[in-house]
């Protein structure tokens, strides 16, 4: 009987491990941004290493220059991946959102803790 219980415990542990590894990271919605679009697959990675700022209500999508003067054309991608009612995009920083795009930071995605 003890051998049977041990086998059952091992099966449960293996099943739980498989479920934990197959868990899909679900991205939090960001304004009207279509997170299923090929243009947005880089947005909000689980480790929050880049493109983790949700920028909404973008007023100047055609401003091609960052606050530091770097060329950063985003207008066509923003228009293709979000709606005019509230153009939205994932940015690397609050400054890109507010100063370049004239948007509002809705949230900043934080890294997902690994258990």
Q: Which of helix, strand or coil describes residue 18?
A: helix
* Rounded-to-integer distance, Cα 19 and Cα 75, Å: 40
Q: How many Cα atoms are found within 13 Å in the side-chain-facing hemisphere of 52?
A: 11
Nearest to residue 37, comparing CAs of 82, 69, 71? 82
Q: pTM for the whole thing?
A: 0.74
* Rounded-to-integer distance, Cα 30 and Cα 103, Å: 12
Q: Residue 110 — very low, low, confident or very high, per pLDDT cuts 50/70/90?
A: confident
> For 36-95, what is each residue's pLDDT tens digit?
999 999 999 999 899 999 999 999 999 999 999 999 999 999 999 999 999 999 999 999
* Rounded-to-integer distance, Cα 101 and Cα 77, Å: 13
Segment holding 89, helix H or strand E? strand 89-91
Nearest to residue 78, comparing CAs of 28, 27, 31? 31
Residues in the chain: 115
Q: Cβ distance 63 to 89 under 8 Å?
A: no
């Amino acid at each position: 009987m003890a051998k049977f219980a041990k086998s059952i415990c091992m099966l449960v542990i293996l099943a739980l491990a498989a479920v934990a590894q197959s868990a899909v990271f679900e991205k939090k919605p960001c304004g009207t941004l279509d997170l299923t679009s090929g243009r947005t697959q880089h947005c909000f990675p689980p480790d929050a290493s880049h493109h983790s700022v949700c920028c909404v209500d973008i007023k100047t999508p055609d401003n091609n220059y960052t606050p530091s003067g770097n060329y950063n054309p985003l207008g066509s991608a923003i228009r293709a991946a979000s709606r005019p009612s509230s153009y939205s995009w994932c940015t690397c920083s609050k400054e890109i959102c507010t100063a370049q795009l004239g948007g509002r930071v809705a949230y900043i995605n934080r890294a997902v803790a690994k258990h």
